[in-house]
Structure 1
Amino acid sequence: MTKSIGIDVSKETLDAHRTDDGAHAQFQNDSKGRRALLRWIGDKVSLVVFEATGAYHRGLELDLAGASVPFAKVNPKQARRFAQAIGKLAKTDRVDAAMLAKMGAVLDLSPQTPATPELHDMRELLTARRALIKDQTAARTRLATASVGSVQTILKRRLKQIVKDIDQIDDALRNLSGRDMTFARKVAILASIPGIGQLTAITLLIDMPEIGGMDNKQAASLAGLAPVSQSSGKWQGKERIQGGRAQLRKALYMPALVATRVNPDMTRKYNQLIEAGKEKKVALTAIMRKLLVMANALLRSNRMWTKARP
């Protein structure tokens, strides 16, 4: 098992590259094309690497998992930075496939646990929910400045429909999350933490399925909540967060805000930071990180949150 294979995913095609013999092949991104791709990959493969491309990679991921082919799904921005680091400035489907194959071999990427079909469905529902939230915000902004009666009527009707659509998606998310006992147990553990509701717990598990399977530093880093040192020679800059999953941080913002009011430990920590002269947004970021670390630790030990003893 020495082959590392890179696959560039697009809406119509899948461009594949093998490291052992440098072979390249292109397949249609449909069920028939993916079956042909699996035959081309064979069974002596160490890792298949592809970029996360939303709906376009879903069929590939499910077929690879179904065939027990080890794979790693990488962030497109990280893949592009790797290409720049090795001097690959050109960007074509064929070049990207070769670059992804090399990335898997050079960085020794670890295979990922395949997502269940239910998790794929929940991701799609969550994406639709976030789009509706954006529509809701835009409609409210337009309504605040609308002066024509017919426009106001249309916007009010649209806002009512958006609320109904969001409620429908929320119900679907709850139903899907309850089908898998393991997933449902994780939701219950996260929802036991003051400040985290059921839907927020589901969102965290969708955005960060790795949670509970890593150490606390890795969890904070993956969310982009780990402070990064800024220094060079005698110059010492401020530590700041960067990178990570922006949607995950957005999902943690309100729970952290609520936790500073209802969770005694978080309230105490937040007040300590404010009294130490930290800005409110810095203190709240620290609470977000603490909340995520707590969630990761509870999931790792498979136990509910309990109030700390005084």
Structure 2
Amino acid sequence: MDSVFGIDVSKRTSNVAILVNSQTVKQFTIDNNAHGFNILDEQLRSFTDPLIIFEATGIYSRPVENYLDQAKYRYTKINPLRAKKDMDSFRHNKTDSLDALGLAQAMTLHHYKSVELSSPVYSELHDLERFYQERNEDIVREKNRLHRTLSITFPEVERLLSVTDGDLYWNIVQQFPSPEYVLRKREDEIAPCIMQATNKNMSIDRSMKLAIKLTDLANSSFKMTNIDCVTKETIFHASEVQRIDHCKSDLINKMAELSENLPEIKIITSIPGIGIKTAVCLVAELGDIRRFYSSNAINAFVGIDLIHYESGDYTAGDHIRKRGAAYARKILYRAVLNIISASRTKPTNISLVYDRKKQSSGSKGSKKIVVMAMHHLIRTIYHLVLNNEMYDTKMFPAEH
């Protein structure tokens, strides 16, 4: 006797439909809390090896998923797009109760595989990585705001250092947000302030050169009036950028510590050009790589699988689907760029394939070539992780 539980998860409640031998025997609604899950548990325990299916609806399906994990039930978490396509053939109306029934019917028809239970560390890494990506978005906004206010108060300070990044630059901006703050002090008074602005060892000579340059920039700057409020904004944004940057570093350190026993981290970092930050972020987005049945499945997961369209005499150019884990796609894209940069001294199969394609196509379609290299990187990582092998340039010659 096959019993299927279809669960349509909403924000605060879930609709449940129970099918036995393809016949509806019960439908009910529960709250997504301890009391509701106790009701669901009573129903589940009244059947032997029930099949459970629900849609992956992000944060709203997490409590249901966590409950099923704790209770040791096997379940299927289906992509909402896949569920819609499979249910469109027999579902004409859409309500929460009908969605729960439709999910159960789809499970009966298609016999989806259950989710492979993986270590909780992957879930923790995923949460930390999403928090890290949010901080990434925050720091971009704060840097733009800092640039906007500095354009009013002291635009010349952006030429003081080779990069407008790092603790040294942000501390200097907080101490000298406008030319007036610089010109209040002598150069020999500014130099110690600059030395204290960084945790790195800085020579007196270097600090004096920066103090002289900062003074020259302040003298050449146009002195704006009535900008006290904007000056305070500049100090605030510089401190916010610095705070968020430190938060990002702490998150990466926490992720590295959390994943230190995962063998795939050492495997991925053995690829020249990939550091610990890229490795932990990638594993956090992909989860347990071993759960994928092929490297092409990972391509589809991150949205770089190709779409081919052909109709009559017309054939469109192939392009990637872009449906999937957008953050993972971004991490892989940057990973390929880092691998290409490192290839000057440590070439890999990824960089060699990229170079060959780049030469054959000239300078056209650079992004497409990087995406192609992402495919090769995924295949390489998948092979290494499945076989528990470190990267060896002799093991992966350039493909023809």
Normalising by structure 2, what TM-score? 0.71
Quote the offset at 1:161 in angstroms. 1.3
For residues 340 and 249 of structure 2, the distance between their equivalents in structure 1, rounded to whole angstroms, comes to: 27
For structure 1, list consecutive stretches of 5 or more residues without a partner in the other structure.
none
Q: Shift in Å at residue 254 of structure 1?
A: 0.9
Give 1:96's aligned residue: 99
Identity %: 24
Equivalent-residue separation in structure 1 for 2:93 and 2:326 (angstroms): 26
Q: Deviations over 1:175-207 (max 9, x none)?
A: 2213xx4xx111111111122222222222222
Which of 145-154 and 207-216 deviates more? 207-216
Instruction: Report the number of matched residues.
Output: 305
Residue 26 (structure 1) aligned with residue 105 (structure 2): no
1:85: Cα distance to partner?
4.9
Alignment partner, residue 2 of structure 1:
2
The yes-or-no answer on 1:259 pairing with 2:339 is yes
Equivalences for residues 108-257 of structure 1 within 5 A: 108-146=111-149, 147=152, 148-178=230-260, 181=261, 184-213=262-291, 214-242=293-321, 243-257=323-337
Spell out, residue by residue over 1:210-232, the C-alpha distance to the aligned partner (whole angstroms, 9 max, x if none): 52342222222222222222212
Once superposed, which parts of structure 1, at least 4 consecutive aligned residues long, lie more than 6 Å away? none
Which residue does the alignment assign to 1:60? 64
Give the residue type in structure 2 aligned to 1:199. Answer: K
SS at match of 2:6: strand
Q: Is residue 308 from structure 1 mapped to residue 394 from structure 2 by the alignment? A: yes
Q: Which has the larger radius of gyration?
A: 2
Letter in 2 for 1:176: L
- Is residue 105 from structure 1 mapped to residue 191 from structure 2 by the alignment? no
Change (3 A) 1:17 1:140: same
Q: Distance in 2 between matches of 1:172 and 1:35?
A: 34
> Secondary structure of 1:306's match?
coil
* Counterpart for residue 381 of structure 2: 295
Matches of 2:286 and 2:51, distance apart in 1: 22
Unaligned 5+ runs, structure 2: 153-229
What are the superposed Cα offsets for residues 15-60 of structure 1, whole Å, 9 maximum, x if unpaired?
Answer: 2112224221111212332122122123434531122233332332
State the partner residue of 1:284. 370
Aligned residue type for 2:6? G
Amino acid at match of 2:70: G
Q: Which residue of 2 aligns with 1:78?
A: 82
CA–CA distance in structure 1, aligned partners of residues 258 and 66 of structure 2: 18
Q: For 1:27 and 1:190, how far apart are their aligned partners in 2?
A: 43
CA distance in 1 between counterparts of 2:236 and 2:282 reads 34
CA distance in 2 between partners of 1:292 and 1:275 (Å): 22
- CA-atom RMSD, angstroms? 2.2
288-297 or 20-29: bigger deviation: 20-29
Contact 2:351 2:373 in 1 (8 A): no
> Aligned to 1:196, what secondary structure does the other structure show?
coil
d(CA) in 2 for partners of 1:155, 1:36? 50
